[in-house]
């Protein structure tokens, strides 16, 4: 069996467009170049990551220079290129503007992909959703090229290639899945299902800057200085996890890929081409810390659920930073919203109805939501320290 291939090429910054194009071109070369993925006349969707309307310097969204490079190469290969994503809240066209991608679209005359309407996708092999309405953009495209960033994610630990396709679920419907699927493991399985349905042909990872700390939008930009490419998305995530020091066992999307036999998740089964990936390794990447080993107790399912809920950090508003934009309120999947910044501090978050999806944290443009550790989490950490 041939090994999965991930290509990596160093790229220091986004300053010089030609250098960015050169790096992406060099990265694709060992995989056969863009021509191996895009044929003349094909409709190409560049699925970017515009989680929330933030400037490119925040490193929460795909950098416009990376979109320009991917688009130029796809156009060169004869493709008809459109660009899009569905942010958690807000109009995609406006969010693309804030993220600096709309300017690139005007410059290269790229179409805005249809993320407002949906088309029905089916896949008999899927575990969570055999039938799903995804953005029409995915059905319109002959080829999907996904362009994410490697970032920490407060709910899913890490977000990159596989998770980027969650954005094919339009707008606030994403939040509804957070609500309907009880655990992050089920949510991860849904993400795998989406990848099986939409089948991106190629992932170009914008890892010039990733994000550590409280990602996917409130963390810190972290220079990784690389661009990566692969047609095997779990393999791409496996390499990115190795670079940032993330234990893949703690990444639900990787576990879901492994469990459902989707792609390649083991580093030893991956051939890394191009530059030596080990030279990009970061020892101090601030990861999402979780209490990883809750002792197994023979308790009923409901008790396990209760423990899990107690262990999850709770969102709290930092009122000094809050500008009352109401993005958290609008993005909360709970009905009525479990968060309301207009209330007095003690009642701003309803801990009884909050499902700890952290959408509010993700959508807040001001980093005005902190995630407070629970009392049970503190006890587990303390006993882990004492037991060392």
In degrees and rounded to multiples of 5, residue 205 shows phi and psi of -90, 120
For residues 11-70, which are near ligand SF4 according to CB under 6 A? none
Nearest-approach distance from CB 317 to ligand SF4, in angstroms? 5
Nearer to ligand SF4, 67 or 327 (CB): 327
Nearest-approach distance from CB 189 to ligand SF4, in angstroms? 20
**Coil vs helix vs strand at 212:** strand
325 lines the binding site for ligand SF4 (CB under 6 A):
yes
Nearest-approach distance from CB 339 to ligand SF4, in angstroms? 4
Question: Using CA atoms, how far apart are residues 265 and 232, in angstroms rounded to an integer?
Answer: 9
Q: Which two tokens stand for residue 131?
A: 């039938």
Stretch that binds ligand SF4, among 224-232, 256-264, 293-301, 322-330 (CB under 6 A): 322-330
**Among residues 90, 145, 369, 380, which is the contact residue for ligand SF4, using CB under 6 A?**
369
173 lines the binding site for ligand SF4 (CB under 6 A):
no
Nearer to ligand SF4, 68 or 184 (CB): 184
In degrees and rounded to multiples of 5, residue 228 shows phi and psi of -125, 155
Nearest-approach distance from CB 58 to ligand SF4, in angstroms? 14
N residues, the chain: 388
Helix (H) or strand (E) holding 72: helix 64-76
Nearer to ligand SF4, 171 or 341 (CB): 341
Q: Which of 105, 100, 92, 157 is nearest to 312 (CA)?
A: 157
Nearer to ligand SF4, 116 or 330 (CB): 330
In degrees and rounded to multiples of 5, residue 227 shows phi and psi of -125, 140
**Among residues 323, 379, 382, 384, which is the contact residue for ligand SF4, using CB under 6 A?**
323
Question: Using CA atoms, how far apart are residues 286 and 283, in angstroms rounded to an integer?
Answer: 9
Nearest-approach distance from CB 236 to ligand SF4, in angstroms? 28
Bridge partners, 339 (sequence order): 349
Nearer to ligand SF4, 19 or 290 (CB): 290
Q: Which two tokens stand for residue 232?
A: 């095997």
Please list the alpha-helical segments (H only) found in 146-288: 173-180, 184-198, 233-244, 252-259
**Coil vs helix vs strand at 271:** strand
Nearest-approach distance from CB 140 to ligand SF4, in angstroms? 31
For residues 331-360, which are near ligand SF4 according to CB under 6 A? 332, 334, 338-339, 341, 349, 354-360
Q: What is the DSSP letter of 7?
A: E
Question: Using CA atoms, how far apart are residues 155 and 179, in angstroms rounded to an integer?
Answer: 13
Nearer to ligand SF4, 113 or 328 (CB): 328
Q: Are 372 and 214 in contact (CB under 8 A)?
A: no
Instruction: Provide the terminal-to-terminal Cα distance of the chain, rounded to the nearest Å.
Output: 43
Q: How many residues bind ligand SF4 (CB under 6 A)?
A: 27
Nearest-approach distance from CB 314 to ligand SF4, in angstroms? 8
Nearer to ligand SF4, 326 or 376 (CB): 326
Q: What is the CA radius of gyration of the chain?
A: 20
Q: What is the DSSP letter of 296?
A: P
Q: Which of 268, 142, 129 is nearest to 195 (CA)?
A: 129
Nearest-approach distance from CB 184 to ligand SF4, in angstroms? 12
Nearer to ligand SF4, 168 or 360 (CB): 360
Question: Using CA atoms, how far apart are residues 175 and 90, in angstroms rounded to an integer?
Answer: 13
Nearest-approach distance from CB 135 to ligand SF4, in angstroms? 22
Nearest-approach distance from CB 183 to ligand SF4, in angstroms? 14
Q: What is the DSSP letter of 153?
A: E
322 lines the binding site for ligand SF4 (CB under 6 A):
yes
Nearer to ligand SF4, 51 or 74 (CB): 51
Nearer to ligand SF4, 266 or 366 (CB): 366
For residues 297-316, which are near ligand SF4 according to CB under 6 A? 315
Question: Using CA atoms, how far apart are residues 320 and 169, in angstroms rounded to an integer?
Answer: 34
Residues that bind ligand SF4 in the complex, under the rule CB under 6 A? 315, 317, 322-328, 332, 334, 338-339, 341, 349, 354-360, 363-364, 366, 368-369
């Amino acid at each position: 069996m041939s090994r999965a291939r991930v290509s990596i090429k160093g790229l220091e910054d986004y300053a010089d467009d030609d250098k960015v194009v050169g790096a992406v071109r060099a990265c694709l070369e060992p995989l056969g170049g863009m021509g191996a993925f895009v044929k003349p006349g094909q409709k190409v969707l560049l699925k970017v990551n515009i989680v929330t309307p933030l400037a490119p310097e925040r490193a929460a969204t795909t950098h416009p220079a990376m979109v320009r490079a991917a688009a130029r190469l796809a156009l060169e290969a004869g493709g008809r290129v459109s660009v899009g994503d569905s942010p958690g809240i807000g109009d995609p066209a406006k969010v693309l503007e804030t993220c600096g991608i709309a300017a690139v679209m005007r410059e290269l005359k790229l179409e805005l992909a249809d993320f407002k309407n949906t088309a029905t996708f089916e896949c008999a092999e899927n575990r969570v959703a055999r039938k799903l309405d995804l953005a029409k953009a995915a059905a319109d495209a002959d080829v999907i090229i996904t362009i994410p960033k490697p970032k920490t994610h407060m709910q899913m630990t890490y977000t990159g290639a596989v998770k980027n396709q969650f954005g094919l679920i339009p707008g606030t419907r994403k939040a509804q899945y957070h609500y309907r699927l009880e655990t992050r493991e089920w949510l991860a399985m849904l993400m795998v299902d989406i990848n099986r349905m939409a089948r991106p042909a190629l992932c170009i990872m914008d890892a010039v800057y990733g994000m550590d700390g409280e990602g996917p939008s409130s963390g810190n930009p972290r220079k990784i200085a690389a661009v990566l490419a692969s047609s095997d998305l779990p393999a791409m995530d496996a390499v990115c996890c190795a670079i940032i020091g993330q234990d893949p066992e703690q990444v639900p999307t990787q576990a879901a890929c492994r469990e459902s036999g989707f792609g390649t998740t083991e580093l030893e089964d991956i051939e890394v081409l191009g530059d030596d990936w080990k030279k990009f390794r970061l020892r101090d990447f601030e990861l999402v810390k979780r209490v990883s080993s809750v002792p197994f107790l023979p308790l009923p399912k409901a008790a396990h659920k209760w423990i899990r809920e107690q262990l999850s950090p709770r969102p709290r508003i930092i009122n000094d930073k809050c500008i009352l934009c109401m993005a958290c309120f609008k993005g909360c999947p709970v009905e009525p919203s479990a968060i309301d910044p207009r209330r007095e501090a003690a009642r701003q978050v309803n801990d009884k109805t909050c499902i700890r999806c952290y959408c509010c944290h993700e959508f807040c443009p001001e980093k005005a939501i902190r995630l407070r550790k629970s009392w049970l989490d503190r006890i587990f950490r303390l006993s882990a320290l004492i037991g060392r």
